[in-house]
């Protein structure tokens, strides 16, 4: 059995709009192993977000195979794919995607609720994670009462509170100023090193690319370069 958490095997992704077919991902094979801190880099429109969506089973390949811990998701029902996402994959989005009417604690609890954790346990776990990320004073604040950097930290807490096998982060620094972005990257790097959380980013932000230990560069939906850096 493969040791990879996520894997694409000769994957193609086409989109059709008004009878015009656009190829967003063009015969890509890629495997992400436990403990990686990896970036998929490239200019806007090169296929980064599509690639992350395919890896995270938010989208299905037109051709090829997408696997989660060796399980071919193309052979699964949508219900089973949803279950895999819930159990194994955390997501951090450029737009935060927090629920505005819920507090920071309730936003983090939401995934734990879907996983079926008892109320007291998920409340304790959510508050502990937020406190660990320096957000103890925001436990009962709602997203409109937070800065962009604070919202993104809550999003990180939500992504990792359920202890996923991997966290996929799509342009996580895009809406943050330089200082806040560096602070967020420090946080995620420490979680990778100290808690062995596996991270895969899509970005064109050089600050993120510099931090990565592996950089996969895309151009026109193809892998141009796959570089592993020596620590």
Please report, for the chain, the start and end positions of each structural domain, with discontinuous segments joined by +: 6-228
Is the pTM of the predicted complex or chain greater than 0.85? yes
pLDDT beyond 80 at 226: yes
Task: Look up the CATH number of domain 6-228.
Answer: 3.40.50.300
pLDDT of residue 66: 95
Report the distance separating Cα 183 and Cα 133, nearest Å.
Answer: 11
What is the arithmetic mean of pLDDT over 174-181? 86
Q: For the segment 87-102, what is each residue's pLDDT rounded down to a tens digit?
A: 999 999 888 889 999 9
pLDDT exceeds cutoff 80 at 35: yes
Look up residue 145 and give its DSSP letter: G
What's the whole-number mean pLDDT along residues 51-71? 94
Strands, sheet with 6-17, edge to edge from the N-terminal-most edge strand: 20-32, 6-17, 63-68, 71-72
pLDDT of residue 2: 63
């Amino acid at each position: 059995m493969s040791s990879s958490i996520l894997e694409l095997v000769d994957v193609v992704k086409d989109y059709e709009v008004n009878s015009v077919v656009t190829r967003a991902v063009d015969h890509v094979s890629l495997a992400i192993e436990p403990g990686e801190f990896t970036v998929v880099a490239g200019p806007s429109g090169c296929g980064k977000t599509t690639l992350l969506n395919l890896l995270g089973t938010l989208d299905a390949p037109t051709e090829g195979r997408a696997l989660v811990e060796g399980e071919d998701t193309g052979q699964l029902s949508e219900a089973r794919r949803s279950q895999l996402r819930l159990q194994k994959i955390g997501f951090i989005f450029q737009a935060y995607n927090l629920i505005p009417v819920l507090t920071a604690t309730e936003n983090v609890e939401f995934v734990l609720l879907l996983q079926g954790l008892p109320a007291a346990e998920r409340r304790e776990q959510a508050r502990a994670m937020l406190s660990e990320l320096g957000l103890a004073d925001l436990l009962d604040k709602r997203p409109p009462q937070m800065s962009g950097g604070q919202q993104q930290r809550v999003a990180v807490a939500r992504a990792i509170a359920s202890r996923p096998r991997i966290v996929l982060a799509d342009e996580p620094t895009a809406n943050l100023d330089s200082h806040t972005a560096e602070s967020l990257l420090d946080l995620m790097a420490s979680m990778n090193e100290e808690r062995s959380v596996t991270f895969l980013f899509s970005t064109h932000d050089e600050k993120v690319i510099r931090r990565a230990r592996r950089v996969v560069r895309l151009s026109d939906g193809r892998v141009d370069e796959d570089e592993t850096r020596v620590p």
